[in-house]
Amino acid sequence: MAFINSILSVYLWQLIVLAVIIGWWRASEAISRAPLLDLAVGALTWIPWVYSLCYWGWGGFLACLIGQYISLQTFAVVHQTARNYGGPTIRKSLDRYVGPASNHFGLLVTLPALPAFLALRVAEVVFYPMLVWSLGFPRYKSGDWINVSRQKFDGLVGHDLIWCLYCDWMTGVYSLGAEMLRNVESFWCPIRFYEGKKCENCRLDFPDIDVWVPADGTMKDVTEKLDEHYSPTSGTPRSWFGHPERSTKTPEE
């Protein structure tokens, strides 16, 4: 009975939080951008996990996951019914390509990635600012990267809306993390990889890789590269070599 009560408690919590988020968004779109979006995501994900685990143990944690899943399915059905939308959907199209069971299974497989993205977001909020303070790395406005807007897309309802918002958020978290990592890599290790295929694969996320020192270079080349792109002068760029700030600042300024 306690297990069922745990599921119901989380189920009601999720629906209440969803209602609050929707009402807040209708009054102000600030909830759709970080840092308030971080609060909304936390209330729907890790905050119930932590509470359930601490209060009810591992059984409560399992109940929490079940309650969250049921609440999202409820929202999807209610939202699609309320919108009275009967047009084409992403879900129906993909069901035709791979079959409903495979499509839904594939979606569920992406859910375990959620803790990894939450951990990445924690690193962006907690650890990267320390590099801004200690090394002079560029600051970033999280809301410019981590926001959701696909709820405005006409015809995106029910399950389509849920999964597209999930991807909307994940894409922003990943993109901001990659941007921060570009600064880290160029600052500490501007050396190309020996494996040529790896350089090709990484070029998308590290577009300045061709400017790094060749793998068969010397440490003198590396230090000269650092001298070329960095300076001990305060306020000079400490970003990756293709960062926008480098178009307006030079190490000599």
Query: Mapped to the 3 state alphabet, what secondary structure does 13-48 carry?
Result: HHHHHHHHHHHHHHHCHHHHECCHHHHHHHHHCHHH
Mean pLDDT, range 183-198, rounded to an integer: 93
Would you state the pLDDT for residue 41? 97
CA–CA dist 97, 47 (Å, integer): 36
- Categorize the per-residue pLDDT at 186 as very low, low, confident or very high, splitting at 50, 70 and 90: very high
Mean pLDDT, range 155-161, rounded to an integer: 94
Question: pLDDT tens digit string along 101-134?
Answer: 999 899 889 989 999 999 999 999 999 999 999 9
Would you state the pLDDT for residue 122? 97
Comparing CA positions, the residue from 168, 62, 49, 173 lying closest to residue 121 is 173
Q: pTM to 2 decimals? A: 0.91
- pLDDT at residue 172 tops 90: yes
Would you state the pLDDT for residue 95? 95
CA–CA dist 245, 243 (Å, integer): 6
Comparing CA positions, the residue from 206, 205, 245, 216 lying closest to residue 229 is 245
Take residue 150 and report the two structure tokens written for it.
Answer: 């696909």
Mean pLDDT, range 137-148, rounded to an integer: 96
Cβ atoms within 10 Å of 209's Cβ, excluding its own: 23
SS3 147: strand
- pLDDT at residue 250 tops 70: no
Would you state the pLDDT for residue 195? 84
**Average pLDDT in the chain:** 93
Using alpha carbons, list the distances in angstroms from residue 40 to 33, 43, 120, 148, 241: 10, 5, 17, 11, 35
Cα dihedral 23, 27, 29, 33 sign: negative
- pLDDT at residue 62 tops 80: yes
Residue type, 232: P
Cα dihedral 178, 183, 188, 193 sign: positive
The residue that leads in pLDDT, 252 or 160, is 160
Would you state the pLDDT for residue 251? 42
